[in-house]
A and B are shown apart, each in its own frame.
Chain A
Amino acid sequence: MSTQVFYFVATLSIIFSLMVIFAKNPIHSVLYLILTFFTFTVHYVLLNAQFLAVVNFIVYMGAIMVLFLFVLMLLNLNKETEPSKSPLIKIVGVVAGCCLIVTLVGSFKAASINSPLILKNQGLGLVENLGKELFGPFLLPFELSSLLLLAAMVGAVLLSKRDEVEA
């Protein structure tokens, strides 16, 4: 049953992510992106990674996408305000997209499908096991990435404060 659910949700993921690209209205795009993230959450649950699922739910669906929607509502993008793209940019885009497809297909061919990676510990995705892994063997990378996030945060605050200093 789990496999059938996977195929159903995977189809939905692909449909919604295509809709993100094809939707004319940017707000609709963001809403489809939210649905795509929701299907990802279901994928994580199917993989028994409950913590990742719920964090994806909170952070991506609940916070980042709210901010996306917030910014789009503030900007109020529509057809009249959007600058029309020249044919040259469109051609460049198509070429770049094709290059990406070639790279992806190549990497998938290189990765052999017949020897899938099997998790040694089935319950790795549960909060307790994940926490022990993160704060045990992976403590240094974890702390480094938190420092990186802190630096980004300080940078954002600094950028928004610049005007006040100059004035």
Chain B
Amino acid sequence: MDTGFIIEKFILVAVIFGISLVIAMYSTYAERKVAAYLQDRLGPDRAGPFGILQPLADGLKMFMKEEIIPTTSNKWLFIAGPGLALLCACIGTAVIPWGSPMLIGGKVVPLQVSDINVGVLYIFGVVSLGVYGVMIGGWASNNKYSLLSAIRAASQNISYEIAMGLSIIALLLMTNTLSLKTIVEQQHGWHWNVLYQPLGFLIFMVCSFAETNRAPFDLPECETELIGGYHTEYSSMKLGFYLFSEYINMFVSSAVMATLYFGGYNYPGMDYMATLLGPTWAPLFGTAILFAKIFFFIFFFMWVRWTIPRFRYDQLMNLGWKGLIPLAIANIIITGVVIAIIEKF
């Protein structure tokens, strides 16, 4: 392992980390603006032009607020909860290919931190780990509402993970690989997986709404029943961590959806642009396209949040176990049969 390799990866990780934090920061602004637009209001417009500095003001407020740790809480776990939530949200970006390999100063640099051959499963593992932040925080608060929220989060996460995994299996039957890099390369030239797996994509998307605790699946922080849910007792930057991790989770899920189903950094006319821009700038253009797709999905998350009301808990469980799981299994069977028929003839 030479030093150049380590420096290269370090810079890549730092850049991706910085970008995810900035995107999470501005997602809070975007969320308020989208909500305002959908409700025919103006939204934040005081801090800077169009309220563009609002996230900075919010961040400063979060840092300056008094930090309260309830005396009856479990102190260490109370602190570990939000940290774990943010950690699990951030490590998901490590296997996503952000662009095709880029030529920098005569050296080809892959725009992906790590191309492990179990990339899809890694993402899945990180997603399943994400619930610990909520569970530990909710339990350590020593508050009935927080505990209820932690239990809700756990059962919701487990239920929707199954349907999510099954929808990925149908996709893997087609791709024959678990490496995200290869999956993206296979989608070059309009072979986007969403065209072959529309039902699988629908199931995956609904499940990622549930896994990120976004409306209409935000039962763990259902204000009307549970005050603030798992973060009722949290104040200051610990609350900030929880809110931040939700937005980073949203960013990572959007990136995964764009990568698995919407061609990642591929776009129509990519080969022409590659000859036009050269090996240094064309990959960056592809990255910009990927980010455009991600921003669309983030917008979609917000659009749904301010359009559809929250589910009731039994409706959530019915949808997960009696709706999505049978549908995902049917999708696997159909995909398997079709692939078998195509290979036969």
Task: Give complex CA distance A104, B127 in Å.
Answer: 37
Q: Does B157 contact A (CB under 8 A)?
A: yes
B125 contacts A27, C-beta separation under 8 Å: no
Determine if A12 is an interface residue (Cβ-Cβ < 8 Å). Answer: no
A40 within 8 A of partner (CB) = no
Which residues from 126 to 173 on chain B have a C-beta closer than 8 Å to any C-beta of chain A? 127-129, 131-132, 135-136, 139, 147, 150-151, 154-155, 157-158, 161
Is B118 positioned at the interface, with any CB of A under 8 Å from its CB?
Answer: yes
CB of A127 within 8 Å of the partner chain: yes
Check: B102 CB closer than 8 A to any chain A CB: no
Residues of B participating in the A interface, judged by any CB pair closer than 8 Å: 77, 116-118, 121-122, 124-125, 127-129, 131-132, 135-136, 139, 147, 150-151, 154-155, 157-158, 161, 178
Task: Tell whether, in the assembled complex, residue A55 and residue B121 are in contact, meaning their CB atoms are under 8 Å apart.
Answer: yes
Given A73-B139, A73-B150, CB of A57 within 8 Å of CB of B161? no
CB < 8 Å: which of B129, B135, B147, B178 contacts A61?
B129
Evaluate contact between A73 and B147: CB separation under 8 angstroms. yes
Given contacts A54-B122, A58-B124, A127-B178, contact A73 B151 (CB under 8 A): yes
Contacting residues of chain A (70-99) with chain B, CB-CB under 8 angstroms:
70, 73-74
Please name all residues of chain A whose beta carbon is closer than 8 Å to the beta carbon of B178 when the two chains form the complex: 127
Complex contacts, A73 vs chain B, CB 8 Å: 135, 139, 147, 150-151, 154
Most chain B CB atoms below 10 A, which of A51, A55, A61, A70: A70
Residues of B within 8 A of A69 (CB): 132, 135, 139, 154
Q: Majority SS of interface residues in chain B?
A: helix
Cβ contacts A22-64/B at 8 Å (1 or 0 each): 0000010001001000000000000000110111011001110
Max chain B C-beta neighbours (<10 A), residue from A50, A54, A67, A73: A54
In contact, B154 and A63 (Cβ under 8 angstroms): no
User: In the complex, which residues of chain A have a beta carbon less than 8 angstroms from the beta carbon of B131?
Assistant: 66
How far is the CB of A24 from the nearest CB of chain B, in Å? 12
Q: For the complex, give the distance between the alpha carbons of A53 and B116 in Å.
A: 12
Chain A residues with CB under 8 Å of B150's CB are 73
When distances are taken between beta carbons in the complex, the residues of chain A under 8 Å from B132 are 34, 66, 69
Interface majority SS on A: helix, strand, loop or mixed? helix
Q: What range describes how many residues of A lie at the interface?
A: 20 to 34
In the complex, A57 Cα to B129 Cα: how many Å? 9
Q: Are B118 and A66 in contact (CB under 8 A)?
A: no
Asked if A134 CB lies within 8 Å of chain B CBs, one says no
Nearest Cβ on chain B to A60's Cβ, whole angstroms: 10
Flag whether A126 is at the interface (Cβ < 8 A).
yes
23 CB contacts below 8 A, A to B, read A27-B139, A50-B117, A51-B121, A53-B118, A54-B121, A54-B122, A57-B125, A57-B129, A58-B124, A61-B125, A62-B125, A62-B127, A62-B161, A63-B161, A66-B132, A66-B135, A67-B158, A69-B135, A70-B151, A70-B158, A127-B117, A127-B118, A128-B117
How many Å lie between the Cα of A69 and that of B135 in the bound state? 8
Chain B residues in 8 Å Cβ range of A53 = 118
Partner of A54, one of B125, B139, B147, B158: B125
* Contact, CB under 8 Å: A50 / B161: no
Q: Contact: A50 with B118, CB < 8 Å?
A: yes
